[in-house]
Amino acid sequence: MRQFKGSSVNIAESVIGLITHNPILFSRKNYILVCEKTRFFTNGYEGVVTARNNDIYNMFTPTLTVDVNSIKMLVDGDIIQINSDGLLKVLWDKKSKSNAILMTESCNCNCRMCPQPPNKHNPDLIRICKNIINLIAPNPDESLIITGGEPTLLKDDFIEVISLIKEKHPNLNCLLLTNGKSYADFDFTKRFSGSRPQYFTTCVSLHSDVDEIHDDIVGSKGSFYKTLMGLYNLARFSEKIELRVVVSKLNASHLESIAEFIFRNLPFVYHCTFMGLEMTGYASDNRDDIWADPFDYRDELSKAVSVLRRANINVSIYNTPLCLIDKSMWPFAKQSISSWKNNYQSICDSCSVRPDCCGFFTTSGTNYSKYIAPQ
């Protein structure tokens, strides 16, 4: 998520609210006023974000002072959190078609390519998630991603959050990012299926057709069979399932066999995607063990996509620039990188297909393919 740093006054605990630039708003509850300079009393607002604080008007209101450029990047409808340490987090980007809520940083895997390494669960994240769900007014074309960590580890809290989404936004398109292991519990899967919103896709990570390889990648023995059991339980309840295969040095040479395993054993999945690495977190730490240049595995990727296409399974390629894959695969490549961390190299300026290319993760630093070239 986008973040800005400033200085705070009157903020004892984090404040969450919808942005408004209207200083004379009649109903101020749930709103955070954003302005370059305060000229009116701010009583009633949840907080104020300003470039020039005026203590006369903000005497008791939680206030964060940031630079004027940060002010200009915040729009009405955004949901932000301001903290006592001066940090501002954009929790919901109104201009984005896809936003995420982080339910937990705890996980029961330890994936070698994880861009967000596991951490101890912070219960306050559930409060934040509920606040976001209660505040948003999403358009029909917007979607919500539920992510972690592993959200399903929270059990009752997880069910409560997805039930709240169902209650408040019954037509919102939702995607859950999960390793699928919790769904090996049939009773939990049954509870989940009865609680989720109508338009819900469960996106499950599966990185190999070989148990030992998958377990090695996710850093947890026995995960392969738990994930498979979870997938079969989800299928028993006719859940909409997407499989996500993150491609690394550990599995790049057998993508075709992974695709064959999927169509023979998991033909009920709605969608399968092959995903390029985001080289941050554990992925950056383990670069020598996991980095595979997409250009080097482009032929294997083409074979895998073709296998699933022939099996009538929807298939996509995420996080991989067009110049690194075969042209016949371009129709399957998607604009997959979140807008707030999407970037292009200067060499891409002259590329004729740049508008259709996903580009690069800003979080990946200089971990790019040496074969990047304008098309």
Residue with tokens 């499989």: 243
Q: In the chain, where does the domain assigned CATH 3.50.30.10 lie?
A: 3-92
- Distance between CA atoms of 125 and 185, rounded to whole angstroms? 25
56 has pLDDT over 70? no
Residue (of 49, 62, 138) closest to 101 by Cα position: 138
Pairing of strands 31-37, 47-52: parallel
What confidence category does residue 239 fall into, taking pLDDT thresholds of 50, 70 and 90? Answer: very high
pLDDT in tens, 104-127: 999 999 999 999 999 999 999 999
Buried-exposed string 151-187: b where 16+ CB fall within 10 A, e elsewhere: bbbbeebbbebbebbbebbeebbbbbbbbbbbbbbee
- Distance between CA atoms of 20 and 32, rounded to whole angstroms? 6
pLDDT in tens, 288-331: 999 999 999 999 999 999 999 999 999 999 999 999 999 999 99
Is the full-model pTM beyond 0.95?
Answer: no
In CATH, the number for domain 98-364 is 3.20.20.70
Q: In the chain, where does the domain assigned CATH 3.20.20.70 lie?
A: 98-364
Class for the domain spanning 3-92: alpha beta
pLDDT value of residue 143: 94
